[in-house]
């Protein structure tokens, strides 16, 4: 009988977005690593801007949206800031997803929902007839 060694698992890398934050947080929880949202001010409003990883103030990591979270083969986590090109691609993708989300809400004729700070090409809703 011949046996073949199983290859070592490769490192896993995620680019943190507002859409996969919960998925990455769940993976960290499954690995026994504490994580919670990282808050900051954006346009004068307190909002989640990333993920804080670890309990110890001396060793905790902070990944902001657009940064990469890396889990190496032995389960250690690292954060890598996006390069300028990766950051530009992330901002473009994020704005396109926000616009798509806005348009989906706008398809609902009964919806008065408006995304804060939205600058889109959607025509204004007609005024209600008196």
Tell me the range of 48-52, 95-99, 113-117 where mean pLDDT is highest. 48-52
Residue 1 pLDDT exceeds 50? no
- Is residue 120 within 8 A of residue 99, CB to CB? The reply is yes
Burial class (CB in 10 A: 0-12, 13-18, 19+), 48: middle
Residue 69: phi and psi, rounded to 5, are -105, 125
The full set of domain ranges for the chain reads 12-82
Give dist(CA 129, CA 69) in Å, integer.
52
Give dist(CA 85, CA 80) in Å, integer.
14
Name the nearest CA neighbour of 78 among 56, 58, 62.
62
- Give per-residue pLDDT as tens, 30-87: 989 999 999 999 889 899 999 999 888 888 899 999 999 999 888 889 999 989 998 8
Give CA angle at 50 (45, 52), nearest 5°. Answer: 120
Return the pLDDT at 3.
47
Return the pLDDT at 111.
53
């Amino acid at each position: 009988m011949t046996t073949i060694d199983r290859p070592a698992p490769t490192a896993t890398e995620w680019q943190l977005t507002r859409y996969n934050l919960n998925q990455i947080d769940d993976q960290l929880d499954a690995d026994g690593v504490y994580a919670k949202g990282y808050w900051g001010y954006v346009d004068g409003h307190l909002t989640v801007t990333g993920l804080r990883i670890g309990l110890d103030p001396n060793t905790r990591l902070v990944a902001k949206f657009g940064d990469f979270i890396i889990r190496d083969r032995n389960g250690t986590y690292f954060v890598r800031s996006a390069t300028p090109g990766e950051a530009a691609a992330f901002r473009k993708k994020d704005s396109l997803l926000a616009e798509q989300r806005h348009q989906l809400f706008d398809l609902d004729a009964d919806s008065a929902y408006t995304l804060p700070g939205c600058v889109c090409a959607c025509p204004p809703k007609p005024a209600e007839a008196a």
